[in-house]
Amino acid sequence: MFENLLHQENITSRLRHDVAEKSVPPAILFSGPAMSGKLTAALELARSLSCEKEAAWNCSCGHCRSHRSLAHPRTILAGSRDMTPEIAASAEVLRRDKSDAPRFLLVRSARKLLRRFDPVLWEGDEKKLVKTRPIMERLAESIDKLLPGNPLPSEKKLEKLLDSLVDDCAFIQKSLPAVLPVSQVRHITGWAVHSSAGDHKTVIIDAAERMPVASRNALLKFLEEPPPDTTAILITDRKSMLLPTVISRLRDYSFRKRSSSEEAEVLRRVFREDDKRWGGLVAYFRAWRNGPSEIMQGTASLFIDNASSGNPIFPKEVSDIRDQLDLVIFLEALSCELQKRWRDSEVPDHKRAAMEIEWLREARIRTESLNMPVSLILRGLYSAMGTF
């Protein structure tokens, strides 16, 4: 139980105790730094709560078999997360190693994305997925071919299959809402309340801090009294952005940041990587991020230069950023570029640096929580940098 959650001993000890004592609360918060294993823990807890035996990782019960491949029908996974770097990295692991562990790694990575398009969540909004639906069906077929126990295609066909899978995931990622819509919160509540009793149900809401106000208010009612045999798990990298009224209804399991040596072991054991090549998990996954990162970094540099010089002309390259996923990537590029300039400056302007941090923080809040138009956020940030 929780063998796949590395270097979070305090969390695994608490969760094992709570599962064994049947004292897992109905509403839980997994908080802590990005890439500290929170989603892994949530999925493993869902499996443990459904298991008919002792919840060992290799348990043969039907619930565990279904959970290991993230296909269990009594688990709902919702919320925004860019899964494309993990999927691309997992595909590369399978190219090098055809054993069962890399196959599970890629299947689970792809389904972490695909499960966010469960029909339960999109009831009434099916028209929004008209173009995406055929791609999702093809992706589901590709995933099934990679499940352990099924014969793998020939080397040439496997390479083509993996390329197609990575591309299909990148395509459907664009259809995932940047914030959790209130309609999906209501569908989750309805599913939990009205689905048949019996097997344990788990609701996992990723990036809980990104919920708009309407979604938070709708979720409060669900968290006050979850239905019987139901566990709600909220995941956040930024607990401070959650409403106190939400936090008060949850038992918090606080994850710590792994040390450099611990992250290196994760890279070795899970992704079969030479840890000396990377500075940590963040650097590793940034390298797998879909899209022209060097171009985005150049756009960030141009944005800063034009804004700081008072140039009233908004850079055309920035105008091409139209969706919230690209905006989040752009804000990360801006942060990296500003940090580089602070380090390289002979006489750092600490007051301006503090203001720049605040501007980026406000832009991220507007992006992830307030669901403001992308163009409006960029214009506001450009104006702030030009008027300081």
The helix, strand and coil proportions of the chain, stated in percent and rounded to the nearest 5, come to 60, 5, 35
Percent of the chain with pLDDT over 90: 55
* Residue 293: pLDDT band with limits 50, 70, 90: low
What is the pLDDT at residue 127? Answer: 92
User: Is CATH 3.40.50.150 the right assignment for the domain spanning 9-277?
Assistant: no
Give the mean pLDDT of the chain: 88
Worst-scoring range by mean pLDDT, 64-68, 147-151, 376-380?
376-380
Give yes or no for residue 358 having a pLDDT over 70: yes
* Residue 291: pLDDT band with limits 50, 70, 90: very low
Worst-scoring range by mean pLDDT, 173-187, 202-216, 223-237, 323-337?
323-337
What is the pLDDT at residue 388? Answer: 60
Give residue-wise pLDDT tens across range 151-197.
999 999 999 999 999 999 999 998 998 789 999 999 999 999 887 77
Can you give the residue ranges of every domain in the chain?
9-277, 291-387
Among 354, 372, 352, 351, which residue's Cα sits nearest to residue 363?
Answer: 372
Give yes or no for residue 18 having a pLDDT over 90: yes
Q: Tell me the pTM.
A: 0.78
Q: Which residue has the higher pLDDT, 54 or 247?
A: 247
What is the pLDDT at residue 374? Answer: 82
Give residue-wise pLDDT tens across range 132-144.
999 999 999 999 9
How far the first Cα of the chain sits from its last, in Å, is: 53
Give residue-wise pLDDT tens across range 98-134.
999 999 999 999 999 999 999 999 999 999 999 999 9
Give yes or no for residue 369 having a pLDDT over 70: no
Percent of the chain with pLDDT over 70: 95
Average pLDDT over residues 36-55: 94
CA–CA separation, 216 and 237 (whole Å): 16
Q: Which residue has the higher pLDDT, 71 or 343?
A: 71
Worst-scoring range by mean pLDDT, 17-21, 154-158, 192-196, 286-290?
286-290
Give, to the nearest 10 degrees, the angle between helix 324-344 and helix 374-387: 20
Q: How far is CA 187 from CA 51, 119, 125, 181, in A?
A: 25, 10, 11, 10
Q: How far is CA 43 from CA 51, 66, 67, 317, in A?
A: 12, 12, 8, 39
Among 204, 207, 262, 266, which residue's Cα sits nearest to residue 230?
Answer: 204
What is the pLDDT at residue 13? Answer: 96
User: Which run of H or E residues covers position 338?
Assistant: helix 324-344
Average pLDDT over residues 74-90: 93
CA–CA separation, 385 and 387 (whole Å): 6
Give yes or no for residue 225 having a pLDDT over 60: yes
